[in-house]
Chain A
Amino acid sequence: MERSELISKVNSVLAEEFEVEESVITPDANIKETLQLDSLSLVDMVALIENTFGVKIVGSDMPKIQTFGILYDYLAERMK
């Protein structure tokens, strides 16, 4: 998957599931704040990513993934 395609897909599935405008999802935006995630809905984001891209975000990696840009990189690295 091309990076631009990956970014587009990530943005659309997250925007749809968490009911935010796609335009608020930018590389530097904080994921939890933008999607208004708490500790429970964070689990839903991890499940959504795994179901959509086949990439499991392990628990120890989660604290490092603060922004959408980092998430794109994380997924791109594991989908090579």
Chain B
Amino acid sequence: MKPLWITMLALLLCRGALAQDAPAPLKPGTGDDVASAYCNACHTSDYIIMNSMFLSADAWKAEVTKMRKAFGAPIDDETAAVITAYLAANYAVPAKP
């Protein structure tokens, strides 16, 4: 897993002049610190909350993959698994029976 300080530095460097308020906090849960640090490097956590609660666990997994493969987010497999599990547990709709 990449040291957290690298991500935090990236976050500081790309915070725009527009950020008016602290972004809405993510729900507390296992992996919330990792999700917050990595996701916030490129966008506020509002992006996650805005896209809830309607994505399936698989759809969140696809989103994390998209951030890594299409957007070049420096997230290794282990970290991605933590973030995906956090999003699935806190922001996914329950699977339909």
The answer to whether A and B assemble together is no
